[in-house]
Amino acid sequence: MACTTTGTDCEAFGAPTNLHTNPSANVSSVASAADGTITITFSTAAGVPATASKIELVPSSASTGAIAALDLSAAANAGAAYTWRCRPGSSSGVEAKFLPAVCRAVASS
């Protein structure tokens, strides 16, 4: 399930209907992918350049700690324990200095 373009997509998992279009002054968009990855795009008001403005929150295997998307809709992953990891976006990724502190170790590894 993705929350990218319509309020209906977002409502399906309890997010506000305008989450993808106008989340806040510092965040210009929030989108999710079918593999569970949530991409947050910061606005330039947050102090980041437009060309390096994305961070990803990725559901990862709790047993291995691997930083790789875990398809939460796959039957094989039903009931699996997972954790959320963060990293710069796969495209237009935020510079490490702008990442939350808990994400900086991931960005430098």
Structural domains of the chain sorted by starting position, each given as residue range(s) with its CATH number in brackets: 7-108 (3.30.700.10)
Taking the model in full, what pTM does it have?
0.71
Closest CA to 67 of 103, 13, 97, 30: 103
Q: What is the pLDDT of residues 2-42, one digit of tens each?
A: 555 555 555 555 555 555 555 678 888 888 887 778 889 99
The amino acid present at 1, given as its one-letter code, is M
